[in-house]
Amino acid sequence: METWWNVLRWVLIVLATGFVGYVGRFGAQWLIDRARARRQAERSGTQERAPADAFPGSDPKDALKVEKKRVKAQAKAAKRKG
């Protein structure tokens, strides 16, 4: 009886490991595809950005920081292009 339990336990461990590996790989592939699509949208310029005042109740300092980061990212992208 002890041998059957050990065999069954190892089979269940292997199946659980395979399931976790499959789901992890699927999730990682999904994240990679999502990041790739976002990068492609940024390169083509089709991604729309919300205006700084689109978030009611936000601090004006935060809006300035966001705008500054956006300008910096555009300058960096322009520098990379040529």
Q: Model confidence over 26-76: pLDDT tens digits? A: 999 999 999 999 888 888 865 555 555 555 556 777 778 888 888 999 998
Evaluate if residue 16 carries a pLDDT over 90.
yes
**How far, in Å, are 2, 19, 42, 47, 74 from residue 38 at the CA level?**
54, 29, 6, 8, 15
Q: The tokens of 2 are what?
A: 């002890």
Type of residue at 15 = L
pTM of the predicted protein model: 0.40
Q: Cα 29 to chain center, whole Å?
A: 10
Evaluate if residue 22 carries a pLDDT over 60.
yes
